[in-house]
Amino acid sequence: MSALPPDLPRLRTLVIYLRGELGRAERALIEAEEAEAQAARRLPPPEPPAWLVERGTGAGMRPVCVHAGSCWDLNKRCAPATAEQVRVLLAEGVPACPHCRPGTILGVLE
């Protein structure tokens, strides 16, 4: 640390100056945080998943239905899936949603 002046008037002047600098630095920090928060709010929402698997309730929570990502008939038990996972589930006999018809979209069911 640098040497500080030994007399009271110069020490008081230094403290007043440093308080002012600290205030300016704190205001700049607040402005930067606000600008970053505004930029984050302007980001577009993430893309919805293209395919969803609806899980049943109970111990196994097995798949009970597959959906297209844009389906309006979803619930909280849906999880994202890949197109290949949906194809496999359809081949295993998991029903396709009658509203969005993911099997038709994928060309698996008609």
pLDDT in tens, 65-82: 999 988 988 878 899 999
Verify that 64 and 98 share a domain, yes or no: yes
- Where among 43, 61, 77 does a domain terminate? 43
39 and 78 together in one domain: no
Do 101 and 60 reside in the same domain of the chain? yes
Residues 58 and 22 in one domain: no
Separation between Cα atoms, residue 23 and residue 29, nearest integer Å = 10
Q: Is the pLDDT of residue 34 over 80?
A: yes
In angstroms, rounded to a whole number, what is the distance separating the alpha carbons of residues 25 and 48?
41
Greater confidence (32 vs 70) lies with 32
Do 55 and 94 have their domain in common? yes
Domain range spanning residue 70? 51-106
Query: Structurally, how many domains does the chain consist of?
Result: 2
